[in-house]
Amino acid sequence: MNNPTHKQLQLAPLDATGWLSEQPEDFKNWAARVGRWQHYRAGQFVYMAGDAADGVYGLASGGLEITFPLVGGEPVVIYRAEPGFWVGEQAGFSASPRTISLMAAVESRILHLPSRALEALVAEQPKHLLSFYKLCAINLTNAITLLSETLALTVRARVCRRLLKLTEGRSEADLTQDDLAKLLGVARATLRPCLNDLTAQGAIELGYRKIRVLNPALLALYKDEQ
């Protein structure tokens, strides 16, 4: 991993997308002073469930896989994060160990805001607690949305929603069919007919470790299917 030593970082693209982009300018300036860029190769863990909290992380490029140890410590994939995603605030502000594991799904560039800097900021300027509360709200909303989709929507609707989300601002999702099946919590045998149908309709194209969206409007037609 590579950490710059200069005092002021360039935050791009995180100053223009996701949670950080919506924060006050003085907060962004603080992040540029205390943040450190880190690079992770595919399959490398950022942290694991049970680790002590060490700050928050923002994904600038690449992709992150989030897993939760459910039964006997066996990890269950619960989310695939794309650039603009931030995580880590819950454990830090609750003084509890990490509850999830965070791994780079592909080569990724991540901004780390360390715990000591966070603690100093809110001690000196308590108003900035609101920024971290907003991050908690964003991640809680994401979790509730995923649960609701699992309970209420068809597999096809969930596939369409996930592909639309993963390809926001681009046309390809860098994941395999097995990866997508794990994200949705279904067997590959259940997922395959759905992908074949969407391919036949011209909505998507299956490639090597990629799924290309050709017709997002068609995916959007199915995204609320129950």
CA-based nearest residue to 64, from 74, 76, 54, 78:
78
**Whole-number pLDDT of residue 6:** 46
CA distances from 27 to 37, 118, 151 (A): 17, 11, 38
Adjacency order of strands within the sheet including 64-71: 45-47, 101-104, 64-71, 74-81
CATH number of 154-222: 1.10.10.10
CA-based nearest residue to 160, from 222, 77, 94:
222
Report which DSSP code applies to 20: G
The tokens 């994941």 sit on which residue?
Answer: 175
**pLDDT digits (tens), the chain, 226 positions:** 444 444 568 999 999 999 999 999 999 999 999 999 999 999 999 999 999 999 999 999 999 999 999 887 778 998 999 999 999 999 988 889 999 999 999 999 999 999 999 999 999 999 999 999 999 999 999 999 999 999 999 999 999 999 999 998 888 988 899 999 988 989 999 999 999 999 999 999 999 989 999 999 999 999 999 9
Instruction: Answer whether 19-149 and 154-222 agree in fold.
Output: no
Beta carbons of 95 and 59 less than 8 angstroms apart: no
Assigned token pair, 216: 């997002």
Please state the length of the chain.
Answer: 226
19-149 has which fold?
Answer: Jelly Rolls (2.60.120)
Interacting residues of 123 by C-beta distance below 8 A, sequence separation 6+ = none
How far is the C-alpha of 23 from the C-alpha of 113, rounded, in Å?
14
Residue-range domain boundaries for the chain = 19-149, 154-222
Beta carbons of 184 and 155 less than 8 angstroms apart: yes
CA-based nearest residue to 101, from 72, 77, 81, 136:
77
**Whole-number pLDDT of residue 9:** 82
